[in-house]
Amino acid sequence: MNLTGQHIAILGVGRSGRAAAALALREGATVSAWDSAGPEAFVGLPPSVEIHPFATEAQGGELRCDVLVVSPGIDTFGSYVAAFSTHAGEVIGEVELAARFYQGRIIGITGTNGKTTTTELVARILAHAGLGGNPCGNYGTPFAEVVLLANPPAYVSLELSSFQLETIRQLHPVAAIWLNFAPDHMDRYPTVEAYRAAKLRIFMNQTAADIAVIRAGENLPKTAARLITFSSEDPTADWFYNEKQILQGSVPWLDLEQETSLRGLHNAENTMAAMAVCETLGLSAHTIRDALQGYAPPAHRCELIRTLDGVEYLNDSKATNLHALESALRSQTRPVVLIAGGKEKGLDYSSLLPLLGAKALAVVTFGQIARPLSVLFSAAVNSEAVATLADAVAVARSLAPRGATVLLSPGTSSFDQFTGYEQRGNTFRDLVHQLR
């Protein structure tokens, strides 16, 4: 792709938009940046970028550009993007722009849950093997920032959200990971099928020379790539977790609990997906296992805080919705004392009752929705309502026998008592470390 002399318009000046602007400038383009925010959002952009704060749909309809690069935070199918697309030669996203100037190989990762942990695992293994593997995309660093490095890595571990996948055209993962699928982002997509179709675009440019690593039982359309399956439920999958070890076929590769700080069936599946991809690249079991020694998941995602008196304490504060809570609870292999609650968001938690009956010894609820949640959950399991997270930790400890797990997985946002899920998770971590 030759951008010399072309006009590239950046719609949305967050971090990915800024990275796209810098890359387009490097490649010889004339760049303009547009955002509905005020001038303060544009501070720090190179002076050669023409800025347009408080950008309106009317202005968008008048814009003429060779390429429009749309932020994933802006609805691709909404009227705002439609207006700016009127006279655009092509509409893509930042990851697509970056892919066109990246000379290495892409490991693409998508799924409703587990993307960030898997992206980190792939990156960790590839880095240990000396292959780069920089984590980027929906995970922290924009892909374009990696491409702008003086010496870009041989591989990238690219987390891809459905929003980013909507605007790919040529992006080609040599290995694509599909972790799982469940309804989400229904405020952006008209149907579950539309959300699923966006995610399936990860496979669209793959060939028979590529690899698709998928969770067994996902019932995906036929892909051109060679399939490799993983599962914590189906022992016939290529990779299987037997609630102790990860196996490739009948060969043990990793004892998850002894060799890492990862817990839960969902994290076992994340790990299998990462290992499967890296094995196809020719990395040995020894290299992969060595890279994963001592690995802990990202903070606030089923993060093992401590084991005290035979009880594990897991911080899943990032579970700010019902689906995330369900996933965390379903993945547990030990009896659970669940800590849930926070801000009232008008969610219906009744679908959790059968799962609580199967997985939980007790529930401790706290925060704004503590009492109604406790009343609901008591239909399935012993439930106690308290005021604060500190109270919840104390009560949960008293209810958890040796061999159990105390799981903070709130199932709602934290803004009734905290500034965000990070502060809530950090508070839980501090409280658990204070236990004696």
Of 7, 52, 113, 115, the active-site residue reads 115
| Residue 138: active-site member | yes
What burial letters (b/e) apply to 183-214, b meaning 16+ CB within 10 Å? ebeeebbeeeeebbebbbbbbebbeeebbbbb
Helices (H) and strands (E) in the chain, counts: 16, 22
Of 87, 128, 172, 185, the active-site residue reads 185
Burial of 109 (0-12, 13-18, 19+ CB in 10 A): buried
C-alpha span between 178 and 270 (Å, rounded): 10
Burial of 152 (0-12, 13-18, 19+ CB in 10 A): middle
Residue of 90, 89, 84, 137 lying closest to 109 (CA atoms): 137
Of 7, 113, 134, 138, the active-site residue reads 138
Contacts of 428 (CB under 8 A, 6+ apart): 305, 315, 317, 339, 389, 393, 408
And the tokens for 104? 């290495």
| Residue 270: active-site member | no
| Residue 433: active-site member | no
Q: Identify residue 433 by its one-letter amino acid code.
A: H
Position of tokens 């006009």?
7
> Which helix or strand (DSSP H or E) is residue 266 part of?
helix 265-280
Active site residues: 115, 138, 185
